[in-house]
Amino acid sequence: MTDLLADIEELVRFESPSSDHDAVARSADLVAAVGRRLLDAEPERIVTDGCTHLRWRFGDTPKVLLLGHHDTVWPHGSLATHPFSIKDGVLRGPGCFDMKTGLVMALHAVAALEDRDGVSILITGDEELGSLRSRALIEEEARGCAAAFVLEASGPGGALKTRRKGTSIYRIVVAGKASHAGLEPEKGINAGIEIAHQILAVSKLGDAGRGTTVVPTVLSAGTTSNTVPAEAVVSVDVRAWDRDEQVRVDEAIRRLTPVLDGAEVRIEGGINRPPLDTASSAELFRLASGLATELGLGELPETAVGGASDGNFTAGVGIPTLDGLGAVGDGAHADHEHVIVEEIPKRTALLVALLKAVLGSR
């Protein structure tokens, strides 16, 4: 337990915001050093478009994939406002719950195996940005595996995540025409007004009955307060439980047309992650539940969540996937992010048991 906590502290104390490739590269060095010490094996360092990922493979043919990420949403300087601490059985610090504790658990679990043949560990560096640089790597590593175990943080009460919504990410870019807002506004084409029309249009595409959400998020328009905006951009976040809904929304967004004469609308992005459905997780969840009982961990809850992970990709290529095997706590991406310390060795023991069960069936 002491070693687990020391390794978690070392990773949490190093800030690794996704957007800083240099910081992510240095974070990979740190994760590699921890893994090298525990596993007595050097990881493969993989860089895609400047982003650094790590992979350990044991044996010729991967049978089980352990999946995680070492980037976080927290910007540089977060340790000053959210310092690492352990008090009253609660561990805190930026990225501790999502998901540096899970990374350490994965490395310690594999280190506990007498026979690691068939295990692959993939730790990516861009999950919080949508895994655009690592998706192909994840899917390639997962194909042919009997199981993918995702060390993302658990759901409420330590629940494993057996269903996740699929995600789509868009940018709607509007081109208008600038003019002086006071002297001749009529000679301009107001991109701000056009983007407002587009926001209203996409916000109607959600379907509460089917659990589909379409949410405009980051918005920008214009350059100065006395100029008709020549350009405006809005990001749109889409979540859906099934592929048909993703396709429906995607087609509708791509059919958007300008309302103002002379304005132009361009759509960037698209479907990002496929849904992770219960068919992908059911058998592994039954296995985990039985092992939890054997280990004296009590009943293991499950949950469905709107957030996506790299487990969506492994499920999307047909690999049985169980998610949320990492830290028990709360507050991903939030000020109250924390991990319950006493649950760390319990969940690590469950992961070891899962690995042995799947590897033993080869």
Give residue-wise pLDDT tens across range 258-303: 999 999 999 999 999 999 999 999 999 999 999 999 999 999 999 9
Q: pLDDT tens digits, residue range 140-150?
A: 999 999 999 99
Pairwise CA distance, residues 102 & 33, whole Å: 16
List of residues 6+ apart from 66 with CB closer than 8 A: 106, 109, 110, 119, 120, 121, 122, 149, 151
Q: Which fold has domain 2-164+275-359?
A: Aminopeptidase (3.40.630)
pLDDT of residue 2: 75
- In the chain, which segments carry CATH 3.40.630.10? 2-164+275-359
- In the chain, which segments carry CATH 3.30.70.360? 166-273
Q: What is the CATH number of domain 166-273?
A: 3.30.70.360
Q: pLDDT tens digits, residue range 216-245?
A: 999 999 999 999 999 999 999 999 999 999
pLDDT of residue 108: 98
pLDDT of residue 362: 47
Contact 281, 324 (CB under 8 A): no
Q: What token pair was written down for 39?
A: 């596993």
To the nearest whole percent, how much of the chain has pLDDT over 90? 97
**Residue labelled with tokens 């949508």:** 130
Which of the four pLDDT bands, split at 50, 70 and 90, describes residue 130? confident
pLDDT of residue 361: 60
Distance of CA 349 to the CA centre of its chain: 24
Which stretches does DSSP call E strand in 151-258?
160-164, 166-175, 213-221, 231-240
Q: pLDDT tens digits, residue range 5-61?
A: 999 999 999 999 999 999 999 999 999 999 999 999 999 999 999 999 999 999 989
If you average pLDDT over residues 78-84, what whole number do you get?
Answer: 96
pLDDT > 70? residue 1: no
